[in-house]
Structure 1
Amino acid sequence: MEEDEVLELFEIQHSDLKLLSSPPSCSRLEKMIMENLGPTGPGLLAVTGVPNASLLRRKLLPLARKLALLSPDDRKRILKEHNLGSDVPLKNPERNVSSFAMQLRYDQGLESIETKPNSAEIAQNSSLSLDNLDEDMKGQFKNLGAVFKELGSCMMELGLCFARICDWAIGGHELEQSLLESCSAKGRLIHYHSTLDSLVLKQAGRKRGSAKKQANNKIVGGKKHSEGWHLDEKGDEAGPCGIHSNLWQQWHYDYGIFTVLTDPMFLSASHSQETTADDEYLVSSYEECGSPSGHSYLQIYDPNKNKVLMVKSSPKSFIVQVGESADILSKGRLRSTLHCVRRPSKLESLSRETFVVFLQPAWSKTFSVSDYHMDHGGFGHQKLKESEEDGLSNQEGNTLSQEIQKIVPPLSARLKDGMTFAEFSRETTKQYYGGSGLQSNR
Structure 2
Amino acid sequence: MKEDVEVVDLYDLRYSDLVLLSSGQVASSSSSEELDRLDLVRRQIMEALGPAGPGLLAISGVPNASALRRHLPLARKLTFLDADHRKRILKGHNLGSDVPLKNPGRSVSSFAMQLSYAYAFEKHTLLNSEDKDLRHIDSDKATELQDNEYTNLGNNLKELGFCMMELGRLLARVCDSVMGGQEMEQSLLESCTAKGRLIHYHSALDGQLLKQAARKKGGISKSGRKQSIADHTKLTGGSGEVGPCSSIHSNLWQQWHYDYGIFTVLTAPLFLQQWCPQAGEEDRFEDCRFEECSGYPSGHTYLQIFDPNKNIILMVKTSPETFIVQVGESAEILSKGKVRAALHSVGKPGDFENLSRETFVVFLQPAWNKVFSMSDYPMKHISSGDQCLSLESSEEKKRIAEQDFQKIVPPLTSRLKDGMTFAEFSRETTKQYYGGSGLQSNR
Instruction: Identify which of 175, 195, 204 aligns with 2:213.
Output: 204
Instruction: Identify which of 76, 89, 92 aligns with 1:81.
Output: 92
1:403: which partner in 2?
Answer: 404
- How many angstroms does 1:210 deviate by? 3.4
Q: Between Structure 1 and Structure 2, which shows a larger proportion of helix residues?
A: 2
Measured at CA, do residues 215 and 152 of structure 1 come closer, stay the same or move farther in structure 2, by a change above 3 Å? closer
1:286 aligns with 2:290: yes
The whole-number CA distance in structure 2 between the counterparts of 1:163 and 1:356 is 17
- How many angstroms does 1:312 deviate by? 0.3
- How many angstroms does 1:217 deviate by? 9.7
The whole-number CA distance in structure 1 between the counterparts of 2:352 and 2:282 is 28
Question: Structure 1 stretch 248-257 or stretch 395-404: which is displaced more?
Answer: 395-404
2:135: which partner in 1?
Answer: none
- How many angstroms does 1:242 deviate by? 1.7
The whole-number CA distance in structure 2 between the counterparts of 1:97 and 1:71 is 17
2:189: which partner in 1?
Answer: 180
- How many angstroms does 1:401 deviate by? 3.8
The one-letter code of the counterpart of 2:351 is K
1:355: which partner in 2?
Answer: 360
- In the TM superposition, 1:197-346 aligns within 5 A as 197-213=206-222, 215-216=225-226, 227=233, 241-243=245-247, 245-273=250-278, 282-289=286-293, 290-346=295-351
Measured at CA, do residues 278 and 302 of structure 1 come closer, stay the same or move farther in structure 2, by a change above 3 Å? closer
- How many angstroms does 1:374 deviate by? 4.2
The whole-number CA distance in structure 2 between the counterparts of 1:325 and 1:270 is 42
Instruction: Identify which of 39, 54, 71 aligns with 1:42.
Output: 54
The one-letter code of the counterpart of 1:39 is P
The whole-number CA distance in structure 1 between the counterparts of 2:146 and 2:219 is 25
Contact 1:239/1:247, CA 8 A, preserved across alignment = no
Q: TM-score, normalised by structure 1?
A: 0.84
- How many angstroms does 1:206 deviate by? 1.3
The whole-number CA distance in structure 2 between the counterparts of 1:239 and 1:283 is 35
1:53 aligns with 2:62: no
1:70 aligns with 2:70: no
Does the residue aligned with 2:247 lie in a helix, a strand or coil?
coil
The whole-number CA distance in structure 2 between the counterparts of 1:142 and 1:110 is 24
The one-letter code of the counterpart of 1:332 is G
Contact 1:306/1:398, CA 8 A, preserved across alignment = no
Structure 1 residue runs of 4 or more that deviate by more than 6 Å after TM superposition: 110-114, 228-231, 274-279
- How many angstroms does 1:378 deviate by? 2.6
Spell out, residue by residue over 1:362-417, the C-alpha distance to the aligned partner (whole angstroms, 9 max, x if none). Answer: 01111111222445253574664564xxxx50745642442111110111111111
The whole-number CA distance in structure 2 between the counterparts of 1:374 and 1:198 is 44
- How many angstroms does 1:427 deviate by? 0.8
The whole-number CA distance in structure 2 between the counterparts of 1:305 and 1:265 is 29
- How many angstroms does 1:76 deviate by? 0.3
The whole-number CA distance in structure 2 between the counterparts of 1:426 and 1:105 is 22
The whole-number CA distance in structure 2 between the counterparts of 1:169 and 1:112 is 29
The one-letter code of the counterpart of 2:13 is I
The whole-number CA distance in structure 1 between the counterparts of 2:267 and 2:260 is 19
1:15: which partner in 2?
Answer: 16
The one-letter code of the counterpart of 1:414 is R
The whole-number CA distance in structure 2 between the counterparts of 1:110 and 1:276 is 52
Does the residue aligned with 1:371 lie in a helix, a strand or coil?
coil
Contact 1:303/1:377, CA 8 A, preserved across alignment = no
Instruction: Identify which of 136, 143, 156 aligns with 2:165.
Output: 156
The whole-number CA distance in structure 1 between the counterparts of 2:275 and 2:237 is 28
1:393 aligns with 2:419: no
Measured at CA, do residues 208 and 111 of structure 1 come closer, stay the same or move farther in structure 2, by a change above 3 Å? farther
Contact 1:6/1:310, CA 8 A, preserved across alignment = yes
The one-letter code of the counterpart of 2:103 is N
Contact 2:337/2:381, CA 8 A, preserved across alignment = yes
2:104: which partner in 1?
Answer: 93
2:421: which partner in 1?
Answer: 420
Spell out, residue by residue over 1:416-438, the C-alpha distance to the aligned partner (whole angstroms, 9 max, x if none). Answer: 11111111111111110111110
Spell out, residue by residue over 1:172-215, the C-alpha distance to the aligned partner (whole angstroms, 9 max, x if none). Answer: 11101100011111010000000111111111111122322574
The whole-number CA distance in structure 2 between the counterparts of 1:325 and 1:188 is 19
The whole-number CA distance in structure 2 between the counterparts of 1:37 and 1:308 is 17
Contact 2:263/2:331, CA 8 A, preserved across alignment = yes
Q: TM-score, normalised by structure 2?
A: 0.84
Contact 1:217/1:227, CA 8 A, preserved across alignment = no
Aligned length: 406
1:142 aligns with 2:143: no
The whole-number CA distance in structure 2 between the counterparts of 1:137 and 1:208 is 30
Does the residue aligned with 2:113 lie in a helix, a strand or coil?
strand
- How many angstroms does 1:143 deviate by? 1.0
Spell out, residue by residue over 1:92-119, the C-alpha distance to the aligned partner (whole angstroms, 9 max, x if none). Answer: 11111011011101122496799xxxxx
The one-letter code of the counterpart of 1:178 is S
1:27 aligns with 2:39: yes
Measured at CA, do residues 176 and 227 of structure 1 come closer, stay the same or move farther in structure 2, by a change above 3 Å? closer
The one-letter code of the counterpart of 2:207 is S
The one-letter code of the counterpart of 2:194 is A
Spell out, residue by residue over 1:48-93, the C-alpha distance to the aligned partner (whole angstroms, 9 max, x if none). Answer: 01001211101x2010000111111111011011110111111111
Aligned-CA RMSD value? 3.1
Measured at CA, do residues 419 and 348 of structure 1 come closer, stay the same or move farther in structure 2, by a change above 3 Å? same
The one-letter code of the counterpart of 1:159 is G
- How many angstroms does 1:291 deviate by? 1.8
The one-letter code of the counterpart of 2:58 is A
Measured at CA, do residues 375 and 110 of structure 1 come closer, stay the same or move farther in structure 2, by a change above 3 Å? closer
